């Protein structure tokens, strides 16, 4: 060593800086060669069949101001007990929420919004993990996760 601590580090940094300046400057990056000549029109199939959507269908946004009639998933006028369903998810898109309730017997999944009916019970989405069903003053809450013990 030459008796000066840190001199080697400073000299190394200076050499790296000079070597970087000596390298030829590259041209601005050109489009990837595999995408050259591909227009947006040719990518329409990609947009119409999204990779991360289970159905491979693009989401259909609800039109603002349009109020659809409530959906009746199953109608049973004689139903007095709350439906035997499990809350498996709540979808939130642009401020609109839909609850995914699964019938354990059939495995059928009902996709419902607040105000829709399931077996003559009115659906209300309370928050991002709770749905409530009401009928004639009775209430049944469904949670995605059981409260911690």
Alpha carbon of 57 to those of 43, 48, 54, 91, 94: distances in Å? 15, 6, 8, 16, 18
Domain-wise residue ranges, the chain: 86-143
pLDDT digits (tens, 9 = 90+) for 63-104: 665 555 556 555 444 457 899 999 999 988 888 899 999 999
CA distance 95 to 74: 26
Give the global pTM: 0.47
Q: Which is more confident, 13 or 102?
A: 102
Cα separation, 67 vs 65, in Å, equals 6
Phi, psi at residue 38, to the nearest 5°? -95, 115
> Comparing 80-84, 106-110, 118-122, which segment has the lowest mean pLDDT?
80-84
E strands, 5-137, are 86-93, 96-102, 109-112, 117-118, 121-127, 130-135
Average pLDDT score over the chain: 76
Are the beta carbons of 112 and 73 closer than 8 angstroms?
Answer: yes
> Residues 28-42: pLDDT tens digits?
556 566 666 777 677
Cα separation, 128 vs 119, whole angstroms: 22
């Amino acid at each position: 060593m030459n008796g000066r601590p840190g001199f080697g580090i400073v000299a190394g940094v200076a050499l790296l800086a000079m070597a970087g300046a000596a390298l030829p400057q590259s041209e601005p990056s050109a489009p990837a060669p595999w995408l050259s000549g591909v227009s947006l029109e040719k990518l329409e199939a990609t947009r119409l069949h999204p990779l991360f959507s289970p159905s491979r269908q693009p989401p259909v946004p609800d039109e603002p101001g349009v109020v659809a009639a409530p959906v009746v998933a199953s109608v049973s006028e004689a139903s007095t007990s709350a439906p035997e369903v499990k809350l498996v998810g709540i979808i939130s898109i642009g401020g609109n929420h839909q609850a995914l309730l699964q019938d354990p017997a059939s495995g059928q999944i009902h996709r419902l919004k607040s105000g829709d009916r399931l077996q003559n019970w009115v659906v209300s989405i309370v928050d991002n993990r709770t749905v409530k069903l009401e009928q004639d003053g009775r209430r049944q809450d469904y949670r995605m996760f059981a409260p911690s013990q």
